Structure 1
Amino acid sequence: MKAWKYDEYGGVDVLKLSTDVPVPSINDDQVLVKVVAAALNPIDFKRRLGFLKATDSPFPIIPGHDVAGIVVKVGSKVKCLKEGDEVYGDIAEKAAEKPIQFGTLAEYVAAEEKLLALKPKNLDFVQAAGLPLAIATAYEGLERAGFSEGKSILVLNGAGGVGSFVIQLAKHVFAASKIAATSSTGKLELLKSLGADVAIDYTKENFEDQPDKYDVVYDCVGQPEKAVKAVKDTGIAVSITGPIPPPGFFFIVTSTGSTLSKLNPYLESGKVKVLVDPKGPYSFDKVNEAFTYLETHRATGKIVIYPIP
């Protein structure tokens, strides 16, 4: 099968498109998925740069966590999924602790049944591929922060993959009383369309210097020292990019299909929408260009690869 892989750590140039990669075999609790679309996440390039060296799998590595595709084979202990099911998910349960050697930037991928969910009926494969890691991260961070009805939240980088879901989940699932978010000038209207009550232009004002403080500050961009300054005395800050001072915590998502299934009704009702970056989707032979764009940190929503041969 065709797959993108790398045999050493480094920049985008270590990624090579290979045409003779064996189709993965599956374990009893896994299914084989024909990949229709895949999405990129920051952890994909950080891993390629060697940030996960201490826990990483052997080379060669096929990158990619997010998948949307069709089940073509099921293991003997698979309980619910069957051949022909349209599914989506993040194939690495713990992406940093136990990286997966053979990821989703390939024609086929093996995935544990428990990490997949049935694709929302109203979404195409491109939209579904943009969901798993980002929406699961957004949801888990809100849960861990004890976010609940009537609380306020500030989202740093509300136009990004995770941030766009934090805004929408805070509004539609958790019933926030007030949602503020930061972005560059050109994305302020987008923040409001996602559900933000207050859109802050980070190129013109410092959110940490404003009088408003929040029950939760969700840092999706890597400004931990500033994030904690915008927290109420009784509040908490969430970081998904690295360590953060008190009253903050840093976490890496634990992916599971059950989280996606729980959120499917919000997706199928149209309340929560997937933001696919307008530069995409990128075709399979342009994965290196997609990574180059991802690494500018300028994407709006998710960078999706489609179609996969």
Structure 2
Amino acid sequence: MEVPTTHKAWTYAEYGPPGVLKLEQIPVPDVAADEVLVKVHAAALNPVDGKRRQGKFKNTDSPLPTVPGYDVAGVVVKVGKEVSKFKEGDEVYADVSEAALNKPRQFGSLAQYTAVQEKLLALKPTRLSFAEAASLPLAILTAQEAFDRVNLKVGQSVFINGGAGGVGTLAIQLAKQVYGASLVVTTGSAGKVDLLKSLGVDKVIDYKKEKYEELPDKYDVVFDTVGECNRCVKVVKEGGAVVALTGAVEPPGFRFVVTSNGENLAKLTPFLESGKVKALIDPKGSFTFSEVVEAFEYLETGRATGKVVIAPIE
């Protein structure tokens, strides 16, 4: 496939608010021996994108200028000489940075082309659109790794604090459909009860009306996506596990940073192809490639349900 020498990409050369982002014409990334070049059809935003752009991880960040974006879905247009699993024309998706905070990819997915290591890629489930596929990788891998680390077993109970967010909506579905949890309870507002129930939640606690930590129920696994570990540790069973994605951590809670892994992503393909696990894009729909600044501004209000997606990228 013919590949141009330059392409359009969103970049920032200094840390700051969404306004530091600029749409520029830059060279198409080189492809290393273990990488493929992907023509990007869709990308998605994650809270970590905003925190990184604000300079919260500057001590371990890759050099500026940066093309942000972790999540990508697109078509392979070039393969490195050591690549064996993928070929030109393959529809793929990935979280393009193996480590989200430690030297993440300098040239990410908010561009017309991006280079991705073969080991981070998976074939896009045919059932999913590019936008749906792009909404998944970082968030679904985070939920998957969290449950693997605590060894979530069939029949156990799970409490998810913040079920309507990008990670939460997928954690609910994985807990039920992939790991076989017998009970999934989450926090959410009254307006999101029907949505959360449709994802498989057994009970929704309205955080505006009740303090979940004062209720009598205890759970085998507690997954805090909000940053309330000090409250979440009060609802875990003795010997249970508390995973905290953000905020201060209190024992027995622990935090991890997701590791991108194409093989782990591929393990979820049967559940995505069958529709047992669904991508959830924010009701505002996809933002266009020219609306990336607005998309970040919206994401950073904290009001998004599911994922904020950029599509089409052209």
Instruction: Place the TM-score, normalised by the shorter chain, in its bin.
Output: over 0.9
Deviations 1:52-95 (A, max 9, x none): 11111111100000000000000000011000000000000001
Among 56, 68, 90, the alignment partner of 1:51 is: 56
Report the 3-state secondary structure (helix = DSSP H, G, I; strand = E; otherwise coil) of the residue aligned with 1:181.
Answer: strand
Cα separation, 2, equivalents of 1:232 and 1:81: 45
**Which residue identity lines up with residue 22 of structure 2 in the other structure?**
K
- Preserved CA contact (<8 Å) 1:243 1:250: no
Q: Which residue of 2 aligns with 1:10?
A: 16
Does residue 120 in structure 1 map to residue 131 in structure 2? no
| Aligned-pair CA distance for 1:49 | 0.6
**CA RMSD in angstroms, aligned pairs only:** 0.7
Cα separation, 1, equivalents of 2:194 and 2:217: 20
- Preserved CA contact (<8 Å) 1:138 1:165: yes
- Preserved CA contact (<8 Å) 1:243 1:249: no
Among 218, 222, 231, the alignment partner of 2:223 is: 218
Cα separation, 2, equivalents of 1:295 and 1:183: 18
Percent identity over the alignment is 59
Does residue 73 in structure 1 map to residue 75 in structure 2? no
Q: Which residue of 2 aligns with 1:110?
A: 115
- How many residues are matched? 308
- Preserved CA contact (<8 Å) 1:32 1:74: yes
Q: Which residue of 1 aligns with 2:96?
A: 91
TM-score computed with the length of structure 1 as normaliser = 0.98
| Aligned-pair CA distance for 1:243 | 3.9
| Aligned-pair CA distance for 1:188 | 1.2
| Aligned-pair CA distance for 1:98 | 2.0
Does residue 143 in structure 1 map to residue 148 in structure 2? yes
- Preserved CA contact (<8 Å) 2:227 2:248: no
**Which residue identity lines up with residue 261 of structure 2 in the other structure?**
T
Unaligned runs of 5+ in 2: 1-6
Cα separation, 2, equivalents of 1:146 and 1:259: 15
Cα separation, 2, equivalents of 1:86 and 1:154: 35
Report the 3-state secondary structure (helix = DSSP H, G, I; strand = E; otherwise coil) of the residue aligned with 1:21.
Answer: strand
- Preserved CA contact (<8 Å) 2:39 2:77: yes
Among 249, 258, 262, the alignment partner of 2:254 is: 249
- Preserved CA contact (<8 Å) 1:164 1:194: yes
Q: Which residue of 2 aligns with 1:236?
A: 241
| Aligned-pair CA distance for 1:242 | 3.8
Q: Which residue of 1 aligns with 2:186?
A: 181
TM-score computed with the length of structure 2 as normaliser = 0.97
Unaligned runs of 5+ in 1: none
